[in-house]
Amino acid sequence: MIHMEEQATQALFDKKLITDTQFKQVKAYRSLEIFSLNTELKLFLYLSVLSFTTGIGILIYQNIDTIGHIAILSILLIVTIVCYYFSFKSSTGFQKGETSFENPIFDYLILAAVLLTCIFIGYLQFQYTTFGTHYGLATLVPTVIGLFCAYYFDNKSILSIAITGLAAYIGLTVSPQSLLNNNFYETNTLSYSAIGLGVVLVLWSIYSNQIALKKHFTLVYLTFGLHLISISCVNNLFEPYWSVFAVILAAALYYFYISSYKIKSVSLFIFTIIYAYIGVNILLFKAIQFLNIDDFLIAFSFFIPFYLIVSIILFIGLIKKFNKNSNDDSIR
């Protein structure tokens, strides 16, 4: 990482984008080896929120008979309202572009508020069946609240929770019996819904970029879209109509490959390559089975170690190429 930063600085100097004095100042600053604790502190804040909400869940589970349902719901509601109150009070309001709190601790306060909202609504539904037999509403309500808070407070973590809730809602409404019987992977309709949701997320990210609405949310939408579409397509490559999903997978992965370069996301690029590798290998074995060349399959088994080594080398080479192109683009 340090070597890459030095190369980037040298490239800026060679292109005369910084002066000789600025170049020396940058090198002198880096020689001090000063590093920021910002990421570490935010990680501890995030873990604190998770520990707090998890602790509340454990407390409810262990003392549900002694504390009482009304008391638990009242405490949850009070704490949630307090979190929302201070978050709204400290917020700068909704903006189409990227925004943030003056104090980053409020990002985690609103995250705690949304998580507590999910616990509160889930507890209401479980204990009092507030939404009756419409179990999907117990998921949809906190999802809508999460989407509102994600855009209002510009919080990617809450956006991830909301998209997860939306996926759960679609799964519940499509085939609740299959979910209760633990047959998720045997329900083809859920695969179609997952692909549909992935496409919707991608289309929304494209539209949001066109109208400049929270453009920095693009990576979140594309990441969810990539996993939803790819996993569903890979799962359906073992079905009789696998060719249709092979085409969908190829088209989707090509789009995500191009997008990873546009937004300079190495995580999106890596997962795209992994899903492409899985898909190609499945289709390769299908071709061998279709041609019924068992002798070739036996011979190929001897080359599997070399095949894996070559695959790893190519994978590393692709990542290096991606990082090099991303650094060159950022310098330009």
More confident residue, 4 or 162: 162
Give the CA-trace dihedral at 131, 136, 138, 144, to 10 degrees: -120
Residues 6+ apart with CB under 8 A from 6: 30
Last residue of a domain, one of 174, 205, 229: 174
Residue 179 belongs to a domain: no
Q: Which pLDDT band holds residue 62 (cuts at 50, 70, 90)?
A: confident
**Residue 180, in any domain of the structure:** no
Q: Which two structure tokens, joined as six digits, stand for 32?
A: 């001090």
Report how far residue 324's alpha carbon sits from residue 331's, in angstroms, rounded to the nearest whole number: 11
Convert the pLDDT of each residue in 17-59 to its tens digit: 678 787 777 777 677 666 666 666 767 777 777 787 787 777 7
Q: Is pLDDT of 178 > 50?
A: no
Burial grade of 312 (CB within 10 A; 0-12, 13-18, 19 or more) = exposed
Residue 38 lies in a domain: no
User: Considering 143, 174, 205, which residue would you say is the last residue of a domain?
Assistant: 174
- Coil, strand or helix at 321: helix
**pLDDT > 80? residue 158:** yes
In a domain, 230, yes or no: yes
The answer to whether residues 82 and 122 belong to one domain is yes
The domain total for the chain is 3
Instruction: Measure the CA–CA gap between 67 and 91, rounded to whole angstroms.
Output: 35
Angle, helices 38-62/105-128, rounded to nearest 10 degrees:
20
- pLDDT per residue as tens digits for the range 125-135: 877 787 777 77
Full residue range of the structural domain in which residue 113 is found: 43-174
- Under 8 Å between Cβ of 249 and 198: no
How far does CA 299 lie from the centroid of its chain? 41
Instruction: Indicate the pTM of the whole model.
Output: 0.81
Q: What is the largest CA-CA distance in the chain?
A: 72
For residue range 208-257, what is the model confidence (pLDDT) as tens digits? 999 999 999 999 999 999 999 999 899 888 888 889 999 999 999 999 99
pLDDT: is 50 or 202 the higher one?
A: 202
Q: Give the contacts of 94 (CB within 8 A, at least 6 positions apart).
A: 151, 152
Q: Identify the pLDDT of residue 327.
A: 63
**Other Cβ atoms within 10 Å of 179 Cβ, number:** 16
**In this model, does residue 268 exceed pLDDT 90?**
yes
For residue 224, count CB atoms less than 10 angstroms from its CB and return exposed for 0-12, middle for 13-18, buried for 19 or more.
buried
Asked whether 255 and 209 are in contact (CB, 8 A), the reply is no
CA dist., res. 138 & res. 169, Å (int)? 9
Same domain, 261 and 306: yes
* pLDDT band per the 50, 70, 90 thresholds, residue 181: very low
d(CA 197, CA 94): 26
Q: Domain end: 131, 148, 174, which one?
A: 174
Quick one: pLDDT at residue 10?
A: 72
Q: In this structure, is residue 198 part of a structural domain?
A: yes
Percentage above 90 pLDDT, the chain: 37
Burial class of 213 by CB neighbour count within 10 A (0 to 12, 13 to 18, 19+)? middle
**Residue 50 belongs to some domain of the structure:** yes
SS3 content of the chain, % helix, strand, coil (to 5): 85, 0, 15
Q: Cα separation of 8 and 213, whole Å?
A: 31
The verdict on residue 79 lying in a domain is yes
The verdict on 22 and 112 lying in the same domain is no
Residues 193 and 329 in one domain: yes
Asked if 54 and 76 sit in the same domain, the reply is: yes
